[in-house]
A and B are shown apart, each in its own frame.
Chain A
Amino acid sequence: MSYLKVDNLTAGYGQMRILHGVDLEIAKGEIGVIAGPNGAGKSTLLKALFGMADITGGQVSLDGENIASIPPDRLAAHGVAYVPQEYNVFPSLTVNENLEMGAYVRNDDWSAVLDRVYGLFPPLREKRRQPAGELSGGQRQMVAVGRALMIEPKMLLLDEPTAGLSPMFMSEIFDRVLAVNAAGVTILMVEQNAKQALAIAHRGFILANGENSWTGTGRELLDNPDVARSFLGG
């Protein structure tokens, strides 16, 4: 039973069409990775899922429900959280205030969730009164992901979470992604560092020129010599 199902999605920005009929399917609790060369439409696919791009055709359903027409500010209430690649924190707000804003749609007591997020990202606890804009790239990324986790999402969309980070931070982020997934969150991740990302993926989708290029489990794609040659640097 698929949890997130994308059927023949065409999408873009205004007059510009980026995706020309993309299919994608992941089951509940899986980690899906979208990879491919620059300009393939990876970020556009995530943005379209979150209502930040214009969908011109196709279907997007989450747990059987059509979410293609739901505006972005309502999706948080549907349990979908999105972490954009850039400008993904509120720079003048403190770390704690950023996380508070993450919990904006909640009406209950979320102090336990806040604790868990600080537990997942210990360096943030001591910097919690610092404006997020003053943190280093890796720490800002933690704030961005932490903010998304505050709603305890059913599905987490991550746009290049390791972009611009050092290799050490990269593996830390992937560790955290695994930990979040272990707690039952379905994850869909766009990644430039395809090799490491596919290693932890249940399902991989390689896009090129706005269309599906290769699809399979993470392991299948890593073992595929054509994929390795084209996208993974041999």
Chain B
Amino acid sequence: MEALVFLINKALVAGLVIGSIYALGAIGVTLIFGILRFAHFAHGDLMTLGAFFTLALAGIGASLGIATPFPIALAALLPAMLLTAASAIAIDRTFYRPLRLAKVRPIIIVIASVGVTLMLQGAIRLVAGVGTRNMFFDQAKDIHRFTLPGARREIVMTEPQVVLVALTICAMVGLHWFLTRSRLGKAMRAVSDNPDLARITGIDTDRVVRATWVTAGALACAAGSLLSMDVFLKPDLAFNLLLPIFAAAIVGGIGQPFGAIAGGFLIGFSETLAIFDWGVLFRELNPLLPALLQLPTSFAFVPTEYKLMVPFVILIIVLVYRPTGVFRGKVF
């Protein structure tokens, strides 16, 4: 029973948490790829920017004497999402849109996004320094514990983890409603399908582009902020996120938002299950097995330090056997 709780905590809850982060980031990447037709390399640092906005607004709120029953960082999340959305639009206006209007090849816009990433990294370090920050400077985060019958150990989920999973579910439901029931959402799908025909039909492509950046920016902020609340906020937050997020978007079928969500959780759970020490469970099973078939008491598919290998391997497998991804995304 203890082993089961260990599995749930270390593999299932952890997979749910990291899967949600990847899903939220991958939605933005896949929408930008489908509608703006380029791989947005600056997405990881957009998440870092969002996290720093949350920290900054929380700090400002605290110094203004605003008191909240829950940690102020959570209250700062929503305004930070709006601020990140606005920044995403501003970045597009300044850097990507002029290139689009000049009708350059897509790879040039990709390189521009690499430039934007370097810029954002520099700007963040200039303003906020290179140190590690704790988002819960005013109140400690709540910890929720559940006990399973027959176990001493508890299933643990922290407050930001609960908020993250809840927000991801809301994002999924909201996105589905938006894309299938609202006029602007359908216009986004139309532009993603056939941008020339969308112009011919009279669809306002500028509005669709803005909506894309708002969605991508807001979700990136949420993902970055909640990840920082789960661990700590460091300026290089993006470093370990960019590859899994792109892998999630590609595995799910690039351009398909629900594929991005599925891909995010697939990669999240694969990571946690790959680094999980199955020996803990094997130890429980060994008494029931004959002496010749004893399982190792310490076993993980992938050592923890090599966890980044997991999205790499999944990505390679998908690109070899099903390049368009699970939900058959775009191939230009």
Residues of A whose CB lies within 8 Å of any CB of B are 50, 52, 72-77, 82, 84, 87-93, 97, 100-102, 104-105, 147, 151
Establish whether residues B203 and A101, one from each chain, have CB atoms under 8 Å apart when the complex forms: yes
Number of B interface residues at 8 Å Cβ cutoff, please give it. Answer: 18
> Given the complex of chains A and B, what is the CA–CA distance between A88 and B190 in angstroms?
12
Determine the chain A residues whose CB is within 8 A of the CB of B193 once the complex forms. 90-93
Determine the chain A residues whose CB is within 8 A of the CB of B204 once the complex forms. 73
> Given the complex of chains A and B, what is the CA–CA distance between A89 and B204 in angstroms?
17
Establish whether residues B201 and A101, one from each chain, have CB atoms under 8 Å apart when the complex forms: yes
Given known pairs A87-B196, A89-B197, A104-B183, the reply for A77 and B190 (CB within 8 Å) is: no
Establish whether residues A50 and B202, one from each chain, have CB atoms under 8 Å apart when the complex forms: no
Determine the chain B residues whose CB is within 8 A of the CB of A77 once the complex forms. 202
Establish whether residues B203 and A73, one from each chain, have CB atoms under 8 Å apart when the complex forms: yes
Pick from B183, B199, B203 the residue with the most CB of A within 10 Å: B199
Establish whether residues B205 and A90, one from each chain, have CB atoms under 8 Å apart when the complex forms: no
Establish whether residues A76 and B197, one from each chain, have CB atoms under 8 Å apart when the complex forms: no
Per-position 1/0 for B176-207, Cβ under 8 A of A: 00000001001101101110111111111100
Establish whether residues A100 and B200, one from each chain, have CB atoms under 8 Å apart when the complex forms: no
Known: A73-B203, A90-B194. 8 other contacts (CB 8 A): A72-B199, A75-B202, A87-B197, A100-B183, A101-B190, A101-B198, A104-B187, A104-B202
> Given the complex of chains A and B, what is the CA–CA distance between A91 and B189 in angstroms?
10
Residues of B whose CB lies within 8 Å of any CB of A are 183, 186-187, 189-190, 192-194, 196-205
Establish whether residues B202 and A73, one from each chain, have CB atoms under 8 Å apart when the complex forms: yes
Partner of A104, one of B189, B192, B196, B201: B201
Count: A-B pairs, CB below 8 Å: 63
Determine the chain A residues whose CB is within 8 A of the CB of B201 once the complex forms. 76, 101-102, 104-105, 147
Determine the chain B residues whose CB is within 8 A of the CB of A97 once the complex forms. 186, 189-190
> Given the complex of chains A and B, what is the CA–CA distance between A84 and B193 in angstroms?
15
Determine the chain A residues whose CB is within 8 A of the CB of B200 once the complex forms. 50, 52, 72-73, 76, 82, 84
Name the residue on A nearest B186 (C-beta).
A97
CB distance from B52 to the nearest CB of A (A): 37
CB distance from B202 to the nearest CB of A (A): 3
* 21 residue pairs from A and B, CB less than 8 Å apart: A50-B200, A52-B200, A72-B199, A73-B199, A73-B203, A76-B202, A82-B200, A87-B194, A87-B196, A88-B197, A91-B193, A91-B194, A93-B189, A93-B190, A97-B186, A97-B189, A101-B201, A101-B203, A104-B201, A104-B202, A105-B202
Establish whether residues A84 and B189, one from each chain, have CB atoms under 8 Å apart when the complex forms: no
Name the residue on B nearest A78 (C-beta).
B202
Given known pairs A93-B189, A101-B186, the reply for A73 and B196 (CB within 8 Å) is: no
Determine the chain A residues whose CB is within 8 A of the CB of B186 once the complex forms. 93, 97, 100-101
Partner of A84, one of B192, B197, B205: B197
> Given the complex of chains A and B, what is the CA–CA distance between A90 and B195 in angstroms?
9
Establish whether residues A74 and B202, one from each chain, have CB atoms under 8 Å apart when the complex forms: yes
CB distance from B130 to the nearest CB of A (A): 45
CB distance from A75 to the nearest CB of B (A): 8
Determine the chain B residues whose CB is within 8 A of the CB of A76 once the complex forms. 200-202
> Given the complex of chains A and B, what is the CA–CA distance between A105 and B192 in angstroms?
18
Determine the chain B residues whose CB is within 8 A of the CB of A93 once the complex forms. 186, 189-190, 193
Determine the chain B residues whose CB is within 8 A of the CB of A87 once the complex forms. 194, 196-197
Pick from B190, B198, B199, B202 the residue with the most CB of A within 10 Å: B202
Establish whether residues A92 and B189, one from each chain, have CB atoms under 8 Å apart when the complex forms: yes
Determine the chain B residues whose CB is within 8 A of the CB of A100 once the complex forms. 183, 186
Determine the chain B residues whose CB is within 8 A of the CB of A73 once the complex forms. 199-200, 202-205
Establish whether residues A90 and B189, one from each chain, have CB atoms under 8 Å apart when the complex forms: yes
Name the residue on A nearest B180 (C-beta).
A97
For the complex of A and B, list the 7 residue pairs with the smallest distance between their C-beta atoms, beginning with the closest.
A76-B202, A105-B202, A90-B193, A73-B199, A90-B190, A101-B190, A72-B199
